[in-house]
Amino acid sequence: MLLQMYTDVQCPWCWIGSQRFKQFLASPAYRDEVAPHVRTVVRIEPYLLDSRLPATSYDTPDGVYDALSTTPYDKNKPPSKKEYYGTKFGAGLDAFDRRISAAATEVGLPPFDWHSEDGKVGATWDCHRLVLRASNLDDQDPQLADGDPQRWVHHSRQLRLMDRLYADFHANSRDMSDRSYLAPLAAELGLFDDEAAAAKWLASDEAEYELRNKLKIAEMNGVMQIPFYIVNDGADHLTGWTGDHAEFLRVMKMQVAAFARLSLVDDALDSTA
């Protein structure tokens, strides 16, 4: 059973949704009612929450990001978090913070930082490239081959990378568009042998073609807000929703039903062979 999670590190609700999904995978309901019937495969898929943003340490790609002349920003000068969120929410920022902070507290996440003057809100292009690399490495990892959800939670490179990016952006106000931050992080999490290799990869065009294609697929799939979940290549989907235990269980049990019936048929055929 394939579950695709469309996200962008700048999306605060996506961090909450990811945490809720991990908690669901650890629940007895998932273990008893879903896991026995299917091998669950999770893919983190890219979506650009704001295509206007420049990057601190590279030029954003044409045809994906808006021309800077059409934006309020300058080349290689992303806005501060205080400037960006103050403009986006205005007087409503405190009310938004109360709502999202309550949800974050429920799932054990730290407070969000909206007011940093040092933290930047830059392009997330390179973050998505690194997630694609992490996903490709996961595909080659024998530890993840059996689809054990707890193994995926603790060992999946893509999920561990997203967790760090979420926390470093939302709580620690790190600049997601600065390669001097991304390269050592990628090496630390085992995506490369060392920081120099990570920096060289980031400076290349690796994974850019694949990322462009995935963003086009997201558009064709009707992804217009995130988090967005697609189950089994479109058999079901959930949009603009951060997830709760009951809803995750409902959707997964509907998909599992077909696999469970097929399994019963196969068992019956084997018994008569």
CATH code, domain with 54: 3.40.30.10
pLDDT value of position 270: 54
Nearest by Cα to 226 from 93, 45, 24, 19: 45
Residue with tokens 């045809």: 63
Give, in order, the Cα–Cα distances in Å from 18 to each of 1, 71, 87, 186, 253.
Answer: 18, 31, 27, 20, 19
- The alpha carbon of 226 is separated from its chain's Cα centroid by a whole number of angstroms, namely 10
Q: Evaluate if residue 148 carries a pLDDT over 90.
A: no
Adjacent-strand bridge partners of 230: 4, 237
Residue with tokens 């394939």: 2
Contact status, residue 253 vs residue 38, Cβ threshold 8 Å: no
Cα separation, 56 vs 173, whole angstroms:
14
Q: Evaluate if residue 264 carries a pLDDT over 50.
A: no
Of 81 and 156, the one with more pLDDT: 81
Residue range of the domain that includes 33: 2-272
The total of structural domains in the chain comes to: 1
Can you tell me the mean pLDDT for 147-162? 80
Question: What is the distance between the terminal CA atoms of the chain, rounded to a whole angstrom?
Answer: 28
pLDDT value of position 142: 83
Cα separation, 74 vs 66, whole angstroms:
12
pTM over 0.85: yes
pLDDT value of position 56: 98
Q: Evaluate if residue 260 carries a pLDDT over 70.
A: no
Cα separation, 89 vs 189, whole angstroms:
34
